[in-house]
Amino acid sequence: MPIGYKCLQNRDIARIIVDMLRASIEKSIQPNSNDLLRKFQEKSGDSSTSLLAASDRNFINAHYHEECGDLVQKPVETRRSAAGTMQLSADNEGFYKDRVWPLGIVMYGFDERASDIETVVLQRAMTVVELCSCIAFLIVPRNSPLEPKNLLWFAAEEGEEVPHLGFREGNQTLSLRSMIYGAPGHDGHTLNMLMRILGVPMMSNRYDRDNYVTINWKHVEKTKEHFLERAPPAAWLRNSEDEGAPYDFDSVTHAPANFMCADCSLGQQTVQPLQDHLWQKTLSMGHRSDLSASDAELLSLLYSKQCRARLAGGDT
């Protein structure tokens, strides 16, 4: 592709595209061929193998997230037969036995200092879960005469940053601020934390996740490594034909690319999908605002017995 006396290589074409994208947003930029050629000459000694610099990738991801997100093709849900539906195995029941909430009811309360905005965000996430499952979140008003044996208490600031995986007997104090803002860049963080409360580990922690993503441990924040450790095979469903459930990048429990990152300001990733040349998975994972089909199916299987007991008049 000759321009004047200069023959542009792949790296030069990439820079032209980046400048065009920047110009479409930054109206003050008026690039011309002379400016572009001067930039190419200045950077001709760059030995990097990447066509785009980290700053350019971050710019495109920040300003064209919605446009690029539309390129992601959602998987088509298919079932080969009724015999191939997902089910709880004996190993699954053993893993989740003490992690599901009795009768599918989660009782919670708020500190009087809790922000109204933060409480609304959390309750909206609870509504999303309730609409996709039989689980019920019941609020205990302040100064209530009721004293639940098992209660989630959301404090304004103090409390645990990450909830226990599944049901834990007794009262548990959680940081409301951490529930809402705990993982920068993770749009589905609050929903993910609610799924953790319900006993569901993160999709990106699946025992076979190394077939789908790479964890760049050197970028993970110190003391946070255990949040990316793999869960045992017993935590994941299989069907009646002994086939594992498909790995779901669209799961609300999937970590975003910068999950628990110490410093990703230069475009580093802690969770990097394999074979993702167009960044489709990178842009979509960790950005859901609702449950995927597999998330809803898992909750249905885990809590079906508890919810049936509640509907049958179990003692609450």
Q: Where in the sequence is the domain holding 260, given as residue range(s)?
A: 86-311
Residue 107 shares a structural domain with residue 6: no
Q: DSSP letter string over the chain?
A: -EETTEE--HHHHHHHHHHHHHHHH-TT----HHHHHHHHHHTTT---S-SS-HHHHHHHHHHSHHHHHTTPPPPPP--S-GGGSEE--HHHHHHHTTTSPGGGEEEEEE-TT--HHHHHHHHHHHHHHHHTSS-EEEE--TT-S---SS-EEEESS-SBSS--SS--SS-EEEEHHHHHHSSTT-TTHHHHHHHHHTTPPPGGG-TTGGGTEEE-GGGBPTT-GGGGSPPPGGGS-EETTS-BPPP-TT-TTSPPTTTTBS--TTS--SEEESS-TT-HHHHHTT--SS--HHHHHHHHHHHHHHHHHHHTT---
Residue-averaged pLDDT of the chain: 80
Both tokens assigned to 230: 């793999």
Higher per-residue pLDDT: 42 or 268: 268
Residue 149 shares a structural domain with residue 283: yes
Residue 147 shares a structural domain with residue 181: yes
Residue 138 shares a structural domain with residue 186: yes
Q: Is the pLDDT of residue 57 over 80?
A: no
Chain-centre distance for alpha carbon 210: 17
Residue 224 shares a structural domain with residue 261: yes
Q: Is the pLDDT of residue 78 over 70?
A: no
Residue 125 shares a structural domain with residue 268: yes
Higher per-residue pLDDT: 176 or 142: 176
Residue 151 shares a structural domain with residue 249: yes
Q: Is the pLDDT of residue 47 over 60?
A: no
pLDDT tens for 268-311 read: 899 999 988 888 898 889 888 899 999 999 999 999 999 999 98
Write the CATH number for 133: 3.40.390.10
What pLDDT sits at residue 182? 75
What pLDDT sits at residue 287? 86
Please state the rounded mean pLDDT for residues 164-182. Answer: 92
Q: Is residue 141 in some structural domain?
A: yes
Q: Is residue 70 in some structural domain?
A: no
What pLDDT sits at residue 82? 39
pLDDT above 90 covers what percent of the chain?
47
Q: Is residue 77 in some structural domain?
A: no
Which amino acid makes up residue 59? F
Residue 166 shares a structural domain with residue 125: yes
Q: Is residue 113 in some structural domain?
A: yes
Q: Is the pLDDT of residue 314 over 50?
A: yes
Residue 95 shares a structural domain with residue 232: yes
Please state the rounded mean pLDDT for residues 27-41. Answer: 46
pLDDT tens for 187-216 read: 688 999 999 999 999 999 999 999 999 999
Q: Is the pLDDT of residue 75 over 50?
A: no
Is residue 66 very low, low, confident or very high in pLDDT (cuts 50, 70, 90)? Answer: low
Q: Is residue 69 in some structural domain?
A: no
pLDDT tens for 136-170 read: 999 998 777 778 889 999 998 789 999 999 999 99
Report the number of distinct structural domains present in the chain: 2
Residue 140 shares a structural domain with residue 189: yes
Q: Is residue 76 in some structural domain?
A: no
Residue 102 shares a structural domain with residue 138: yes
Q: Is the pLDDT of residue 37 over 50?
A: no
Q: Is the pLDDT of residue 80 over 50?
A: no
**Taking the model in full, what pTM does it have?**
0.71
Looking at the DSSP bridge assignments, the partners of residue 107 are: 138
Q: Is residue 216 in some structural domain?
A: yes
Residue 50 shares a structural domain with residue 128: no
